Structure 1
């Protein structure tokens, strides 16, 4: 079964919202909810499935987001770094995804390891 949603815990919702609004755009995600100390991101026309919540002591997470194309992996990586993320694996061939699989890894503003995967 597909995952319904995931929750990231962050130190600063306003910084995280700006970061994820920019970084997730090439993957088709946009802000879909904001409740003041957190919110959600989803693909247009669908309910949010990445939620972000401000907490005093957030914990580190790792997850992977499917990308619609190899170019969107590269664009996510570029925008995530420009928005303050840290390189944890540049876009490149990842044979364990698929014969032509491509992926990248970026550490976000709160030390979460976000992986983006394209499986042609």
Structure 2
């Protein structure tokens, strides 16, 4: 089932596609109906995401109306593959920027004195 999708997407993109790639896109679609957020959440290359969505749409796994969503057939595929929605977890301290604020301790002390 997934092998045919993989081959079709690889033909279109010249990018190595894995079952996990399709699972990542499906999980992202379960999480958002916005194309750019799906690209971000899936953590897959833009062309791969775009072509995966198009192939899945043509095979009736995805519908595109006001946003992108899975059809019943797509939900079944996601369930069969064990796919769940993707959640982006952001550090509250650094707002997801990956900065360790402890490194800026002295600067923060000075800033607090001045303000």
Normalising by structure 2, we get a TM-score of 0.31
Bigger share in strand: 1
- Structure 1 or 2, whichever has the larger Rg, is 2
